[in-house]
Structure 1
């Protein structure tokens, strides 16, 4: 404890002690109050005796604390006690203070440090109803409930008076991650003065993964309106969102690989969600939810809900229904469709063989490269044509000069037209492959299956491998160096070198390709080793593809074909869409040049 904290606590103790001494009731006042309570109790007992006519002794037990202390009198004070609900998947600790779930442990998984996965725990977790009773706001999180346990079901009841009460029921089925939750309000229509009540839930989610920074980047509250797609708050900043566009079907406190979801059978009328970043060690973010529920005039009213506590495994979330699987970020359009309907099914198919996940990623990469091989071949041929044409392009450049770039470009276009070459032919196939490359950028960091899975020196494919630890934070790099990220960067630099040899790139374009891998080193150094491993494999397989294609392609034959195209009459050449656009462009350029000369 530091000096300032100690001084503050000492002053607070002095203030509290002074308050008790100077403002507390005197001994005379205390004695009078006790006598008054005893007299009131005796009157009530005598009245009960006259009505039932057994005896004073028989009537004495009928006096309850609610009658003596007012509404919820028996629930205002108490001693915190806990009750455990447990099955093969979950361990729930419930407390009579607020009648809520105090903590949730997800079984069968561990934190990165090997500890049990506790989603939330302790007094920082608030849960209860907020309602207006007789003109005063009551929060049930402050009441003490009476628990009843039977057949892995717990009922928590707080009595207002007589047969008027609030009851929570928690039902945990075997081998389930779902907790059926029901709220019953009996007889409170006579005292609740509004047509709605609020359900408040606040929780501080605890750190589970190796990198708290990356875990925060994948953590946010989600929600879903009825007949709408799920949405979420910001993962990068504190935010409060008012949910007033319709009924809220469910909301979720989501972390990178785990979630707590509350689904309402009838939907919440409206609500508010908030997220606050936590700077305390071991904590990720603070989530707050305030959901409005309709309150009618019937004597007995209930609200059926369902909790889900567990992993963000796509299949398990999908089994919940309500589009909860969209908690798993598959990327933007069209990346999410590539991941969901192509990459994920192939991955799950390979997973069925029981192979190591490093081997699964290898096979997945090979299959993707085979599917993309026609585009790779077309890109190679196009770049080879441009390389073979480079000597002729250099001659044109020497003849025209660099002072007239428009004329130089026109001469280049004439050459392309004569030989039948599309200068963009090498880029377009690569652009078509780009969505698949980017799709994996979202797929691997959000794939629960990789969590805790090791391969080679990588202990966990879902996070970075800190092969070298610096002990200090270095700008751009961080506090470590990932070996797989380094290998990926080296392979990308080598790929760029050979790609320049194929395409014949010169000038600035030749060096720009070397800058990007260095930038990616800083960006991807803290990303999952499984992602860097995939990019490394993709580069190595591309080398193999290009080597194979090079052995199949004859540059002399391509050169002869290009020269033969020059001798063919223009009318015999079948025009491509690019050549048609090229002709249109050249005509427009010539017309512009002619008009410029006339002026």
Structure 2
């Protein structure tokens, strides 16, 4: 956050806009009671839809099925370890071998990273037999046979044979993208004698497991993601009921903070819908339910699918050429491009030098500051110019204290014009900071290269540090204090004190004291940063510390107030052409004055 010495009105407005944006971030991503009520209301609206896709319980079709009778078969390669259950012929366990999950008991990332385990994922194909009975393959018992890298699971229903054929590439020399891919074929024989349906209803129930340290952050990043229009278009849904009844989905996935489970249909899913429900505590973060139809030809169901269980690593996602890279929430348009082509690139270049992640962020901050230094120089030069003409502004305010506010504003603008001060220049630094802040807000908690990277007392730069644990919970703050967030808040306070000393206070009665607002802002920023990625707090600590140094260097080394005063006096001597903006402002004020005079004359005539 960057502030000026002697902020003018336009700067105050731009600062207020920035505050509103940042406040919006804080309240949007913090769990509060209002949001909970909203989620509950949405759950009630979708309750009927959820009941409509509830499958027939397994016991009704296979009353003899017990946990001990369920068989498990396995496939594995360098990246994935998979288990398949004979009940439903489903993938019942998915472990990503190169990654670890966070253990809240030990405060370490040392658990096996299982995207699927303990029945948190359940899927099947649902249809009606000719008697009208609903059948879901998730309730059928399959017989498993494993041959090399192929697992074939076969079930029988009223004389019809249903086969699920899973193939995992276990060639150690295969491309990385192929090792996170599970080929899934469905083949039937005799199903046309059992059902007259022309489509099967794919139903997938998924509970997102808590794998990361920052629960609230991971929960906010857990959502549906899907592609349509022949993989060209992408959409996501994290908070509402999903309705895609007109599009054919190429793939549907459940995205978590750093990993995703995706199923692709070669024929596509039609009439898709889904809903989700947040889980407030425990092992799981969200419940997601999806339903979409897949075509059956002549009563037989022979379709090809592909499962992807993959980390959200941008080069890996792009290698599939299926629009998977959109799953990574780096921001829209310019924001996303800034992350993809600048911040990620810059991080990779510096990390290649072999230094730790924390020092990579430190050097990134310095580079960004160097790039923005011309803007900062102009900002502080404007601040110095405003300080020099402050006596004239105060004199004008005193002179027109009891006059029409329009006259006071006109007098102030005339002083700016004669001094050669461009008021709008004060908005630029604040406007530049907004997209950078939002890009970094997206970058730090979603960049998988930072996952598990510690720095000083932060064990993971994509999550908060909780060196200071509290014996109770504070609303919006939680049960801890982040040292990085505290340090960042202190530095912002120091920077605010240094830059607000020459701020001109509003003369009108009832206007808020801007100094007080500026001091309150860093405190509110603490609530935002306390549960955010510690990498973000570290970046802004370094950024604001550099800001303080820059102010001192500019003030005592670069800028000379005497020279600035002389330049302003020289500007006053030169004839000034009225700019378009100034001309419009003057004309607007003159028009407003004329209208005001007309209204006063009309009121006097009525009297």
Output the TM-score relative to the length of structure 1: 0.81
State the distance in 2 between where 1:413 and 1:120 align.
65
Alignment match, 1:564: 570
Partner of 1:144: helix, strand, or coil?
A: coil
8 Å contact 1:357–1:455 — kept in the other structure? yes
Change (3 A) 1:182 1:171: same
Deviation at 1:323, TM superposition (A): 1.4
8 Å contact 1:380–1:426 — kept in the other structure? no
State the distance in 2 between where 1:242 and 1:429 align.
41
Residue among 100, 105, 108 paired with 2:98: 108
Alignment match, 2:547: 542
Long gaps (5+) in structure 1: 1-71
Please tell me whether residue 190 in structure 1 is matched to residue 193 in structure 2: yes
State the distance in 2 between where 1:585 and 1:493 align.
39
Deviation at 1:593, TM superposition (A): 6.3
Residue among 201, 204, 214 paired with 2:204: 201
Please tell me whether residue 339 in structure 1 is matched to residue 336 in structure 2: no
Change (3 A) 1:598 1:420: farther
Deviation at 1:289, TM superposition (A): 1.6
Partner of 2:444: helix, strand, or coil?
A: helix
State the distance in 2 between where 1:285 and 1:537 align.
35
Q: Deviations over 1:35-92 (max 9, x none)?
A: xxxxxxxxxxxxxxxxxxxxxxxxxxxxxxxxxxxxx999989921101111111111
8 Å contact 1:94–1:100 — kept in the other structure? yes
Deviation at 1:598, TM superposition (A): 6.5
Partner of 2:144: helix, strand, or coil?
A: strand
* RMSD (CA atoms): 2.5
8 Å contact 2:62–2:140 — kept in the other structure? no
Output the TM-score relative to the length of structure 2: 0.80
State the distance in 2 between where 1:561 and 1:255 align.
57
8 Å contact 1:132–1:138 — kept in the other structure? yes
Alignment match, 1:4: none
Matches within 5 A, 1:369-408: 369-402=369-402, 404-408=404-408
Please tell me whether residue 240 in structure 1 is matched to residue 232 in structure 2: no
Q: Which moved more, 1:72-81 or 1:352-361?
A: 72-81
Residue among 104, 125, 131 paired with 1:129: 125
Change (3 A) 1:95 1:597: closer
Alignment match, 1:144: 141
Deviation at 1:503, TM superposition (A): 5.3
Change (3 A) 1:541 1:137: same
Deviation at 1:390, TM superposition (A): 0.6
Partner of 1:565: helix, strand, or coil?
A: helix
Deviation at 1:591, TM superposition (A): 4.5
Change (3 A) 1:275 1:328: same
State the distance in 2 between where 1:564 and 1:74 align.
96
Change (3 A) 1:197 1:579: same
8 Å contact 2:223–2:238 — kept in the other structure? yes
Alignment match, 1:521: 526
State the distance in 1 between where 2:560 and 2:140 align.
84
Alignment match, 1:410: 410
Please tell me whether residue 226 in structure 1 is matched to residue 226 in structure 2: no
Deviation at 1:574, TM superposition (A): 4.7
Change (3 A) 1:330 1:209: same
8 Å contact 1:383–1:425 — kept in the other structure? no
8 Å contact 1:387–1:504 — kept in the other structure? no
Matches within 5 A, 1:57-456: 79-113=69-103, 114-135=110-131, 136-160=133-157, 164-174=160-170, 176-227=179-230, 229-235=233-239, 239-279=240-280, 281-297=282-298, 301-402=301-402, 404-456=404-456
Change (3 A) 1:503 1:411: same
Change (3 A) 1:275 1:485: same
8 Å contact 1:74–1:159 — kept in the other structure? no
8 Å contact 2:224–2:255 — kept in the other structure? yes
Q: Deviations over 1:485-508 (max 9, x none)?
A: 011001111111222246556771
Change (3 A) 1:421 1:123: closer
8 Å contact 2:220–2:238 — kept in the other structure? no
Change (3 A) 1:549 1:578: farther
Partner of 2:233: helix, strand, or coil?
A: coil
Matches within 5 A, 1:32-51: none
State the distance in 2 between where 1:522 and 1:173 align.
47
Deviation at 1:577, TM superposition (A): 4.3
Deviation at 1:518, TM superposition (A): 0.5
Q: Which moved more, 1:484-493 or 1:130-139?
A: 130-139
State the distance in 1 between where 2:299 and 2:289 align.
30
State the distance in 2 between where 1:425 and 1:370 align.
19
Q: Deviations over 1:377-414 (max 9, x none)?
A: 11111121111111111111222215532221111111
State the distance in 2 between where 1:479 and 1:530 align.
20
Partner of 2:526: helix, strand, or coil?
A: helix
Q: Quick check: which has more Rg, 1 or 2?
A: 1
Change (3 A) 1:291 1:354: farther
State the distance in 2 between where 1:511 and 1:585 align.
32
8 Å contact 1:386–1:423 — kept in the other structure? no
State the distance in 1 between where 2:212 and 2:600 align.
70
Q: May I ask how many residue pairs the two structures share in their alignment?
A: 520
Alignment match, 2:484: 484
State the distance in 2 between where 1:545 and 1:125 align.
54
Partner of 1:388: helix, strand, or coil?
A: helix
